[in-house]
Every structure is written in C-alpha cells, then in structure tokens.
Amino acid sequence: MKFFRLRYLNAIIGLVILIVIVGAAIFAPMLAPFSPERMFTGPRLSPPSWAHLFGTDTLGRDMFSRVLHGARLTLYVGFIAVTIGVVSGTIVGMIAGYAVGWVRGFLMRCIDLLYSFPEILVALALVAFLGPSLDNAMIAVGISRTPFFARVIYSVVLVERSKPYFDSGRVVGAGPVRLMLRYLLPNIIPPLIVVASLGFSTAILAAAGLSFIGLGAQPPAPEWGALLADGRDNMRLAPWLMLYPGFAIILVVLAFNLVGDALSEYLDPRQRWRR
Amino acid sequence: MSDAMVQNSPETVQPVLSVRNLKVSFEGPKGRAVAVDNISFDVRPGEMLALVGESGCGKSTVALSLMKLLASPPAIIEGSVYVKGREIFNLSKEEISKVRGKEMAMIFQQPMTSLNPVLTIERQLTEGLMLHEGLTRKQARERARENLDLVGIPSANERLNQYPHQLSGGMRQRVMIAMAMSCKPSILIADEPTTALDVTTQAQILALMSGLQDEFGISTILITHDLGVVAETANRVAVMYAGRIVETATSNDLFSNPSHPYTRGLLGAVPRLDALLSGDDMPSRLREIPGNVPSAGPAVPGCPFAPRCDRVKDRCHTQRPTPVELAPGHIVSCWEYA
Amino acid sequence: MLAACFLVGLLIHLVPGDPVEVMVAKMDAVSPEQIHAIREQLGLNAPPWEQSANYVWRVLHGDFGKTIFGREPVLEFLLSRLPNTFLLTICGTVLALAIGLPLGFLAAYHRGSWLDNLLMFISVLGVSVPAFWLGLVLLVTFSVHFQFIPVAGDGPASVILPAVTLGLVYSAIIARMTRSAMIEVLTEDFIRTARSKGLPERLVLMRHALKPGMIAVVTIAGLIFGYMMGGQVIVENVFSWNGIGRVAIHAMLQRDYPTIQGFIILFAAVIVTVSLLLDLVYMWIDPRIIKS
C-alpha cells in the first residue's frame, strides 16, 4: 500500500510545481516587482536581498522579475515545440503506419535516419541554418523531436490496425482518411498524452540549451537558458545569477517528468514504447 | 502403471510430502485476495498425484509456494510443508536452497521461456549437479549427458554445447525434465508440463514422465487442467476449485464415481467417445457448468462452488463443508454427503 | 550516408541567411561587386541542387571544402579536434555507466522498496538537470574552492570536470534504463527456474540475470554514447573544451557552412560506426544472434 501512495506522491508534487509555475507565468506582470527589461533598478550585480530576491545582473535588472517572466517564455517555447513535434510526428507516424509498400519504407527510412542523430544535434543544425532566434529555436526543437513522436505513433498504429475494430471499419467502407481520423486517432491519444508531457521536459531542456549557446532567445529576452549564458559571464563575481534560472529550469523539467511518469504508468502500464 | 503399489500402501507409510493448512494470499490495492485457502494433502512414495482445476483456481500458486518460489511480499504464505517429515517453511534461505533441486524439483509450463537463453544447455544442466552433489565440471558434464540420453534426446554431446533457441519446444521440455531429474529428487512438481506443447509431443512427454517416475520411484505432483492427462498418468487426483481441494480420490474412483458436483460438472464437460459409440441416449451435447470461475478475492465463508451448484442448499452459502470419506481414500468436501 | 550528405547539403542552401553577409558585416565598406566575387569564389552562386550535387561529389573524393573564415581544409580541421571529443565522450560514458549501472541494478533488485523509490526520485531529478548548468555549477565550485583542478582548456587533467558533468547527467538516464531492463530480466521465467534448482541468490543474479541484463546494458551504453556525443556539444562550450562540438557551435554562430556540413557528416559517420561496433558486441554476448 505504501508503494501506491508513494507513486501518487510523485505525481502530486509534479502537479503542484506545475500549477505554481503556470500561475507564476500567467501573473508574472503582477507578481514581478520590476519590468524584466528595466535597467538600473538597483546596484549592478547586487547579491540577493529583500529588494532584489534573486539579485541584479550587470545592467542592474532585477533577476527575480526576469526569472518570473522567463517562465512565460519557457512554457510558451515548450508548448509550441511540443505541438510542432506532436502534430508533425503524428501525421508522419500515422501515414507510415497506415500506408504499405514504398511509402512506409521511405517514411520510416527518413525517420530512422533523423532518429539516429542525437536530437540536440538535429536542433542545433536546424537552428544554425534557420538563424538564431527564439522562434527558430522552437521550430528546430519541435522538428528535432518529430522522429521520436513519429516512431511512437507508428508503433502504436501498427498495433491498433491489427485489431478487429480496424478491419470492421474497413468492412463498412470507411475511406483512409476516415479510418485514420475516426478509428485510429482516438486510440493514439493516450500514448500521445504521455509522450507529449514527457516531451515538454526534453523540449524545454533543448531550447534552454540552444539559448544558452546563443542560438535561441536573443537578448534582452529573459529566457532561462539565455539568463544562464548571462550568468556565466559573471559567474565568479555573481554566482547567484546562474543559480536561480538553473533552479527554475530544473523545477519545470522535473514537474513535467513526474507528471509524465505518473501518466504513463496510469495510461500504459506496459510502457513498451518508452525508452 | 503402478496402481497396485499405491493401493497397497497403507496409511502407515510416511508420506514423502505433507502439506498442512497451506494458505496463500496477496495484499492488493483492493484488500487481501486469497488464492489458496487452507488446503492439506499428502503425496506418498512413488505415486503421481494430479492437482486438477480450471485456470485461476490456484493450482500453480500451490506449486510455486511449495518450493517457496512465490515472491513474498506481495504473497503471504501460511501453513506448513513437510518433506520426508521435515518442516521446510521455517528453514532459512540458505537451507531451503539445499532442498530445492535436491529434494524437490520443478518443471514449468513454458519451456520456451523457462530456460536461460544465453547459457548453454550444459551450463544449465550441470550447475545443479555441481552445487548439490559436489561434482567436478567434467563429472557433471558426463552426468548431464547421461540424463539427456535418459530423457530421449539424441546426440546428447552436441546438444550440451547448444543454446535453448536451437532446440524445439518438446526438446526444451525434455531438457527441463532432465534438469529437474538430475539430482534424483524425491518429489517432482510438474506445473502444466505439456500445455505449451502440441498434442503428439504432449503424449511423448507424459510417457517419458511416467516412465521416469516408475524407474526411479519419484513422487510426482502433476498440475493440469486436462482430465485426459490425468486419466492417462495419475494414480490419485485432487480436484481444486477456487483455492480449495473439493475432492480427492484415486483416478479410477474419481472417473467411475465423481462425487462433488463440481467434479461431475468437470467430467460432464469432457467429450466421451464411449457414450457416443454405445448410442446411449446420453445427450450428445457437452454439458457445461453454468457461471464463471470466481476470481481470487476475500475468502468466502461457505462453499465456493455454491453460486454455480445445481444442488445448492442454504447452508452451502454460510458454512464451510467438512471433508467426508466416502470410501477409503475418497474424500469429498460437500454438504450433500454430510 | 550518401542520402544524408545530399540532404544536409540541400537543406543548408535552401534556408535563408548567407555567410558572406555575416562575413562582410564585420568589414567596412564592401561593394556589391566584391560580395559577388567572394560568392563566386566560394561557389555560392550556383542553384542549390547543383551546389548539393557538387558537394556530395567532392565529399566522395574526401574533399569537404575549406572553412569559410580560416580557409583551412574542413576535414583536417575537424579531425584534429575529434580525439579531444572522443576522450571526453569515453570518459563521460565510463563514468556514467560506473554510477548508473550499479544504482539501476540496486533499484531493480529492491524494486518497490524505499531505496528504489529514493533512487528513482534522484534519477528523475538528475534527468531534469540541464547538463550545461551542472557544468557551470561545478565550474564555479571548483574554480573558487579547489584550485587544483584545471577548470578549462584541454590538458589531460581538465577532462575531469566536463567528464564528471556528462557522467552525472547521463548516469541518471542509465540508472532508469538499467532498472527497467533488470526488472524485466528478474521477472523472466528462467530466473524462477534457476531458483528452483536451488542456486543461491548470488549465483542466480551473477550467472542467470547478469548476462541477459548485459545485452540490455550494451544497448543502453550505445544509446548513451550517442546522446553524449550530442550533449557534449554544449558541455564542450561550457568548459572551453577544444573538441568538435565547440568548433561546430562556433561555425554555427558564424554560418560557416562547409564546417557545419563537415561536422554533421563526420558525426553521422561516428554514429554509424558506433552502431556497427554495437552489433559486433551483440554477436559476442548474445548466442541467439550468431545463428541467424
């Protein structure tokens, strides 16, 4: 019994963190004492104090305000990237799973090709060619996750299409589009939710990484990865500058991981398709 | 078949294996589920006792708990088991390891997955011998080769160097038997040994098992849901229903005079060629038992078969039936006879 | 591989952005004619597909072009940095396996216990930590408090911090993967068979569970090596480690196409090689593969 409660606990911790962070993101303008971009709100590089909970950066901007506003960016980035990845992955995966012959062969070959690269590398390469910006980073991260989502969806579709209900749909004369949307899609949704929630954490980490090396969010955007890059330049003088954005990233990613784990246990006890 | 020997064996002969009040339950999210409910039975020297019942009645749980192979916790095992008069449930982990494989050995249902895919047949056959009998690797290999011959595996020498995936299902089950027999245990527990095999192989494996049993005088517990298998090979039968033993008898008695309503139901559900041929007005349809096997849950106070029984009385629901001996060795737990 | 090269080449030229513009942005007063001349010289005026085809043709002959800024041959330039990257990846992988495997085994064996729960919580936490942030924290801690470990550069001792960073981050993933792989092995029927033979628990684990578990572990190690090759691209930058990752990021920030292309192709080659090596290892440990 203890076992079950502990599992539960993890999910609750994750949910609570998520709610807090989403709340912080929504109400950031009200909660933040300063505008994230206002300079010289206090002395430069001042350590954490009551006036500046997380201290100030080189330009005297309030770190607490910046981290709070960063939550908006981070969640937004995660959401868009996951949406891009999930939508494109589902389309590719469903077509690959539904089609036969060379279409499937070609699609899966492409997916496997991309999948054999580490995702962060695919994202890096894409963003290098698209040009450094937060929007491009989101797109790149989304696309870099597509092969993973596509593979998951592909394997689920393969299982689902071998079940009797699929054949019965075919027998009553449903066309391919109808078969995919009305018969396959509803059954794909549970695993989709799980990979999407776990995908959030990967996407956020990847986007933060891109911003950190200067290929994502551009200054003065208070994206957490970019804040870390700022902090890096002053890490000896003001180590707190890189501490708080880091904690923020860990919290969000941890929350998504905990919720995703709990969801996957709840929705799919076998976890076959998980890495 | 050595029916004579068993029938002659009086109650005074010490049983090889005695099970007393074995109870196995599982702690689950919905409370405690009882899988095996207070069962007791004896296995006499050289006999083959069949434990029969539908899937889910707890017979495999009995087998695993006898060897203490059930993971515990989740499982809670109570009661006592005596091997040649020695209680084994109180033994330490190390001591029980010395009983497993040496005194009691087991054959499992799935020959495909019960052998380790990455170890050679030799490794898997010899490790027990080296452990329990202190043989050297060379001696053990020699014994393993003999054992493979014994279970009818041709070119044993090459087989020893092979891996399980290179063998057919029937061959693998033969290897399992050779493995179980390697230390000449006094008790062999065979948990549905033929279920995963095709029909011709089934017959061969059964013939092999009864042959070996006769040859070495090993007592066997055969766990099965297949009454045909029972009729062919077992001396004595214990019928299980929902975690309890409802009827025990010699095979002959059981088939000629099934007494528990459940046993009668089981036999009625088996197609009988003789009835068909003799042209009796016995219904040519197979009779089935109405209702379903109850899933393991909290223990019921009365007879577990009551909801499906066609002769159910009031007290069947409230009081647990006491065992009655109809004839020597023929014991039934049913209020019909009390 | 070939398809990958062509794809990479085509992709690069289909997207907006131009190295020449980046280049000239840093100079004063460059006339459009000069720009055109540079482009012509670099072969950037041909249509994309032609550039790609040319590129593939040249790569097949071992010519990866020259870096746009340093005018060095790309292949030699990258290959000179590759040993550093390998050193770091191998140290990181070994460290990650050394931490992650035992913890994963432990959690699997005590599945469901408080120890398992604790270990798994720590590993979820570990998976959630960005590698570059951990790198920075280590960097600050060690540069401030312990002066004896070099914090940057590429001497043999300065591999310690980046390797520890990578090792810690990936050990969390390894522990998770090992746990689920071992749980799968430990619930196999043949483990029960081994116990039924009366083997002591130690032998059951060492002989019957470890070897099939190793097959899963090799898969994991291969995956991790690949992840780490990717993950270190950023970590190299944190520690100014002179590997191909740092070069690549530098090239990306400057739109140095030939270098980026070369990097990706080299990377693909490494990954293909690693997966071939893995197949060899599988053949060595898994008897089922030898036959088929």
In a domain, residue A249? The reply is: yes
Residue-wise pLDDT for A69-78, tens only, equals 888 888 888 8
In a domain, residue A104? The reply is: yes
User: Does residue B116 belong to the interface with chain C, where contact is any CB pair within 8 Å?
Assistant: yes
In a domain, residue A43? The reply is: no
Please compute the mean of the pLDDT values over residues A158-180 and round it to a whole number. Answer: 74
In chain B, pLDDT over 70 holds for what percent of residues?
86
Interface contact flag, A10 C121, Cβ < 8 Å = yes
Interface contact flag, C287 B106, Cβ < 8 Å = no
User: Does residue A4 belong to the interface with chain B, where contact is any CB pair within 8 Å?
Assistant: yes
Neighbouring subunits of A (3+ Cβ pairs under 8 A) = B, C
Contact A54, A70 (CB under 8 A): no
Interface contact flag, C212 B163, Cβ < 8 Å = no
Q: Which domain, by its residues, includes A198?
A: 10-34+70-274
pLDDT bucket at B162, cuts 50 / 70 / 90: confident
In a domain, residue A29? The reply is: yes
Work out the minimum CA distance from C292 to partner chain A, whole angstroms. Answer: 23
CA gap A38, C250 in Å, rounded: 31
Q: Which residue has the higher pLDDT, B223 or C198?
A: B223
Interface contact flag, C132 A215, Cβ < 8 Å = no
Interface contact flag, B114 C189, Cβ < 8 Å = yes
Neighbouring subunits of B (3+ Cβ pairs under 8 A) = A, C
- Closest-CA residue of chain A to B30: A1
Interface contact flag, C17 A257, Cβ < 8 Å = no
- Picking from B102, B131, B165, the nearest residue to C288 by CB comes out as B165
At residue C156, the 3 state secondary structure works out as: coil
- Closest-CA residue of chain A to C19: A129
Contact A193, A267 (CB under 8 A): yes
- Closest-CA residue of chain C to B131: C199
CA gap C256, C12 in Å, rounded: 11
Domains of chain C: 2-60 (no CATH), 83-291 (1.10.3720.10)
- Picking from C195, C207, C211, the nearest residue to B100 by CB comes out as C195
CA gap C286, C289 in Å, rounded: 6
- Closest-CA residue of chain B to A3: B29
Give residue for tokens 């591999």.
C159
Q: Which of these, A139, A135, A134, A140, lies nearest to A120 by C-alpha position?
A: A140
Among A39-43, B167-171, C10-14, C222-226, the minimum mean pLDDT is found in C10-14
Contact B321, B335 (CB under 8 A): yes
Interface contact flag, C193 B114, Cβ < 8 Å = yes
**Residue A259 maps to which CATH number?**
1.10.3720.10
Contact B26, B76 (CB under 8 A): yes
Give residue for tokens 């080296």.
B130
Contact C49, C71 (CB under 8 A): no
Work out the minimum CA distance from B76 to partner chain A, whole angstroms. Answer: 14
Q: At what angle do helices A134-161 and A185-212 cross, to 10 degrees?
A: 150
What pLDDT is stored for residue A84 in this prediction? 92
Mean of per-residue pLDDT scores for chain A: 78
Work out the minimum CA distance from B68 to partner chain C, whole angstroms. Answer: 9
Contact C166, C99 (CB under 8 A): no
- Closest-CA residue of chain B to C211: B118
Domains of chain B: 3-103+185-279+293-333 (3.40.50.300), 112-184 (no CATH)
Interface contact flag, C233 A124, Cβ < 8 Å = yes
Overall pTM surpassing 0.80 (yes/no): no
Residue-wise pLDDT for C40-80, tens only, equals 655 555 555 566 566 666 666 666 666 666 667 777 788 88
What's the sign of the alpha-carbon dihedral A264, C92, A242, C245? negative
Whether cis (ω within 30° of 0) applies to the bond prior to A220 is yes
Our count of domains for chain A comes to: 1
In a domain, residue A58? The reply is: no
In a domain, residue A155? The reply is: yes
Residues of C within 8 A of A239 (CB-CB) are 140, 144
- Closest-CA residue of chain A to B32: A1
In a domain, residue A52? The reply is: no
- DSSP assignment, residue B51? E
- Closest-CA residue of chain C to A202: C128
pLDDT bucket at B287, cuts 50 / 70 / 90: low
Interface contact flag, A242 C238, Cβ < 8 Å = no
User: Does residue B322 belong to the interface with chain C, where contact is any CB pair within 8 Å?
Assistant: no
What pLDDT is stored for residue A215 in this prediction? 83
Q: Report residues of chain C scoring pLDDT below 70.
A: 1-71, 144-157, 287-292
Work out the minimum CA distance from A1 to partner chain B, whole angstroms. Answer: 7
Burial bucket for residue B298 (CB in 10 Å: 0-12, 13-18, 19+): exposed
In a domain, residue A145? The reply is: yes
Interface contact flag, C136 A254, Cβ < 8 Å = no
CA gap A202, C88 in Å, rounded: 23
